[in-house]
Structure 1
């Protein structure tokens, strides 16, 4: 057999080297790689990165609601709050406009964000618990939560049967896109 000849060994191709030993045909090349520059790591920003996340700030599991352009899932689809007792729900709402690898183009001023939370007791009119808008929330950098003036945590005290409705909105002026999170949950507190 000639040296440096390629042969088929079972199901994998091998290469016979000069000393008669077999080596894998696709021998990995080990090369020193230069560190990637920020331009190589970054991907173009996309409006699909606009995101609203909503969760119960006391809950320790992996349950949350979210909204992105064209897609939304409510916290109420996975969260099971207890019945037959009054309780406090600290809802946390977070607004994101980009990710570390895909920062929003600069200069950048995020558009308005808003939060609307109402509770409608059974057979009574709706109570507006929170209704706030911040036209210029603070942007601190890629993949960091926007800092609206109205905060991020909204305690909701429920002591009677009724319907909780949550709406959060995020507007991106550069793309003209609005992301809207909507969710509702019925609570049964007064059990007989």
Structure 2
């Protein structure tokens, strides 16, 4: 039975929303400092590594696909095997190309930077003084809420990808000095879990 007291559920979700709002406010303050600095960085080694790995994978599959025809002509594989393997390589090529397109778009977006008018920040920051939940807040901010059999609660927020990108932009552009200046650790608790306490 996945049942829980309404008051406990509401309190847990309210706490999760307040925590995410606090994080958005912190992000906004750090973004303001970064954007007022004379030089901003935009290179993401994570994205560079992912793109390089996918490009290598694409080259490898292209080579396999090119040698496939010769294998068929040499009688090493049947015509049906050739067709099946060729279709599989084409599917893999298409999948990797789609991932590369997405990663390159993300890298370009990161190069453009982040400002305080970013929809993810705006959505959370307008609820800075939230003391109670209502339908509007839940619809705008929460993707879903799960209540588990043991009574644990999990809250998944909307804007997960956007907040992750903002966190990465901040991480790329902050020094150890900024981290010591009292800012919270750069994390995006886009799913917040509350253990059951009876």
Q: TM-score range by the shorter chain?
A: under 0.3
- If asked which structure has higher relative contact order (CA below 8 Å, sep 6+), I would say 2
Q: 1 or 2, which has the higher helix percentage?
A: 2
Q: Give the alignment's TM-score, normalised by structure 2.
A: 0.25
> So what's the TM-score if we normalise by structure 1?
0.25
Compare the two structures and name the one with the higher strand fraction.
Answer: 1
Flag the structure with larger Rg. 1
